[in-house]
Chains A and B, each alone.
Chain A
Amino acid sequence: MNMKIKAHAIKFGNNIDTDVILPGKYLTLVDSCELAKHALESLDTSFPKKAEKGVIVVGGRNFGCGSSREQAPLALKYAGVKCVVAESFARIFFRNSINIGLPVIECPGISAAVETGDELAVDVEAGKIENTSNGKKFQVEKLPPFIIEILADGGLIENLRKRLNKK
């Protein structure tokens, strides 16, 4: 996975829960591309269309709270979300995203520094986020090396395969 991401931002508020990201009625869908068609539709029916060419989602506090459904980050990833940067994350969503190879970065202050449509440049490994539309920059605490490795491998399954094969 590429650790340097450039894309336009789509901004959301606080407490975006996984029911809103992917409603329960779609949980019997098994194809991630089908899930993607319903990503965040409860808040914006045109989100999948907007995300198609690749976007960075900017969230407020407690992004991804609620249900443990991995279908939520999967729907975002397959809709075209390259990375989620939020004030803070709910823990299961945070782990799930890393495990499916979707970079997530906790960045206090990001909400006030970004508007929907701004262009962001994110260096996941270095923990650097820059809003190139207004010049605002953030340096956040770097993710631990083993998490970076999971992301670099494209997710936990690929990472685990690699580790088990080495043994």
Chain B
Amino acid sequence: MNITEKILAKASGKKSMHPGEIVDANVDMIMVHDLTGPLAVEAFKKIGVQKVWNNQKAVVILDHQVPAESVKAAELHKMMREFAKEQKLSIYDVGRGGICHQVMPEKGHVVPGAVIVGADSHTCTYGAFGAFATGIGSTEAAAVFATGKIWLKVPEAIKINVVGEFQKYVTSKDLILSIIGRMGVDGATYKTTEFSGPTIKGMSIAGRMTLCNMAVEMGAKNGIIEPDETTRKFLEGRVKALPNFESLKSDKDAVYERTEEFDVAKMEPQIACPSSVDNVKPVSEVGNVPIEQAFIGSCTKGRIEDLRLAAQVLKGKHVKDGVRALVIPASQEVYSQALKEGLMEIFTDSGAIVCGSACGPCLGGHIGLLAADEACVSTSNRNFIGRMGSTKASVYLASPATVAASAVKGKITDPRKLEAKA
């Protein structure tokens, strides 16, 4: 069995597992946020069950419309606070957490080998820790609140094997864009994407989170990476106990639908052009594209190493006149670390604005929306029509280095070129 099959077999009390089989799995953790939680709470109340099945296994995180940008949002937040209090659930409120997919592992809610569901499509991020994690809707979340179980179809698996060392200013974001560019936005629909190979072994937790985070952008049910020493180092002190990682490795004879090979050694910085995540090309080939906004943040690329990279590019430089540069740390922990390292000073001095930890403009909720005919280059995960505001705006997806370099030049820029000219 591969790692996903092993986790689902254990969660459903089975010895073996084959793709296509439908299992009733026990859920180890569920997360809802401020835009999916309210519908889940409403649905939960209709079921007629008084208590969430296990209050240690459900988490509420307010991160999308925070701090409340409207009275409507404030009412939703109030509803979620009341629900968390009544059910005695962990809640990460404004100033106490940050973006759900960063907060969940930071605060010890992600354990390797666990089955984790979240009412957010990027829940697949936790596969970076060797958990089976997938996005669900609000009604389904309500059913999990009531029963602690979910039906799942065992997915077929695609192995994505990555070799080679990244060149300077080429990152996990460039890799996942390149993967999606080849596979297509429905290239892994219903399937698991298992990332492996020496490049993944050598990759930081933050980089692995970027890969698994965007697995859903090719339709995958989950992305997953075998847990190892890097995983242990991040989670130790955060989780109560760690399982034995030996049982969380894919068997040598595990079955995959196919294997896709990637070599990053010669990879250039990549960019997804409007308005599809698989419309990917090297940054060097996009030509002259002026931008009005640059966004560094989101559950894809708002972690400390991402901010360090952006700061490295921005240090001593200025954001071009006519460009708004937004920096949003993925969590309070990341924010605090960036402060200690002096990164905030670099951002502020360069003319960027640093906002409080939230999902921000990524989903066009609030903070830095786009007007018609504006272009934004962003470290986030989606460039759909209207995603970040006006349906007539354009969104380009790239790494923190490319976004920072583009902010300086006022147009989409390969970060390696900026350095060459400096």
Residues of A within 8 A of B (CB): 15, 17, 19-20, 23-25, 27-30, 42-43, 61-62, 65-71, 88, 90-92, 95-96, 99-100, 144, 146, 155-157, 160-161, 164-165
**Chain B positions 110 through 130: 1 when the CB is less than 8 Å from some CB of chain A, otherwise 0:** 000000000111010000000
Q: How far is the CA of A28 from the CA of B76 in the complex (A)?
A: 7
Chain B binding surface, main DSSP class: loop
Indicate whether A62 sits within 8 Å of B139 (C-beta atoms), given known contacts A144-B22, A161-B46: no
Contact check: which of A15, A27, A91 meets B185 at CB < 8 Å? A15
B163 on interface, CB distance cutoff 8 Å: no
Of the stretches B249-257, B258-266, B304-312, B381-389, the one at the interface is B381-389
Closest to A155 in B: B139
Is A70 touching B137 in the complex (CB atoms < 8 A)?
A: yes
Q: How far is the CA of A96 from the CA of B43 in the complex (A)?
A: 13
Q: Jot down 10 A-B pairs with beta carbons below 8 A, ordered by A.
A: A19-B386, A19-B387, A27-B365, A42-B385, A68-B137, A91-B221, A99-B139, A99-B140, A99-B143, A156-B140
Is A65 touching B385 in the complex (CB atoms < 8 A)?
A: no
Is A27 touching B137 in the complex (CB atoms < 8 A)?
A: no
Contact check: which of B136, B143, B189 meets A90 at CB < 8 Å? B189
Is A69 touching B35 in the complex (CB atoms < 8 A)?
A: yes
Report chain A residues within 8 Å CB of B136: 68, 92, 95
Is B189 touching A88 in the complex (CB atoms < 8 A)?
A: yes
Of the stretches B6-14, B64-72, B170-178, B400-408, the one at the interface is B64-72
Within B1-45, which residues are at the interface with A (CB < 8 Å)? 22, 35-36, 38-39, 42-43
Within B43-74, which residues are at the interface with A (CB < 8 Å)? 43, 46-49, 64-65, 70, 72-73
Closest-CB distance, A104 to chain B (whole angstroms): 13
Q: How far is the CA of A165 from the CA of B340 in the complex (A)?
A: 56
Is B189 touching A95 in the complex (CB atoms < 8 A)?
A: no
Report chain B residues within 8 Å CB of A61: 186
Is A91 touching B140 in the complex (CB atoms < 8 A)?
A: no
3 cross-chain pairs, A with B, having the tightest CB-CB distances, nearest first: A96-B137, A62-B186, A70-B137
Is B121 touching A68 in the complex (CB atoms < 8 A)?
A: yes
Q: How far is the CA of A107 from the CA of B276 in the complex (A)?
A: 23
Besides the known contacts A23-B364, A164-B49, 6 further A-B residue pairs in the complex with CB atoms under 8 A apart: A19-B387, A28-B35, A28-B73, A66-B384, A70-B139, A157-B139
Q: How far is the CA of A161 from the CA of B382 in the complex (A)?
A: 37
Q: How far is the CA of A147 from the CA of B258 in the complex (A)?
A: 30
Contact check: which of B65, B147, B186 meets A160 at CB < 8 Å? B147
Contact check: which of A23, A160, A165 meets B143 at CB < 8 Å? A160
Q: How far is the CA of A157 from the CA of B387 in the complex (A)?
A: 30
Report chain A residues within 8 Å CB of B46: 157, 161
Q: How far is the CA of A99 from the CA of B147 in the complex (A)?
A: 15
Indicate whether A88 sits within 8 Å of B120 (C-beta atoms), given known contacts A24-B364, A28-B70, A160-B147: no
Indicate whether A96 sits within 8 Å of B139 (C-beta atoms), given known contacts A42-B386, A69-B35: yes
Report chain A residues within 8 Å CB of B190: 91
B223 on interface, CB distance cutoff 8 Å: no
Report chain A residues within 8 Å CB of B47: 157, 160-161, 164
Within B150-171, which residues are at the interface with A (CB < 8 Å)? 151
Is A68 touching B119 in the complex (CB atoms < 8 A)?
A: yes
Closest-CB distance, A154 to chain B (whole angstroms): 11
Closest-CB distance, A44 to chain B (whole angstroms): 11
Q: How far is the CA of A123 from the CA of B119 in the complex (A)?
A: 31
Indicate whether A95 sits within 8 Å of B384 (C-beta atoms), given known contacts A62-B189, A164-B48: no
Is A17 touching B72 in the complex (CB atoms < 8 A)?
A: no
Q: How far is the CA of A99 from the CA of B185 in the complex (A)?
A: 24
Is B221 touching A161 in the complex (CB atoms < 8 A)?
A: no
Q: How far is the CA of A160 from the CA of B44 in the complex (A)?
A: 10
Report chain B residues within 8 Å CB of A24: 363-365, 387
Is B48 touching A27 in the complex (CB atoms < 8 A)?
A: no
Closest to A163 in B: B147
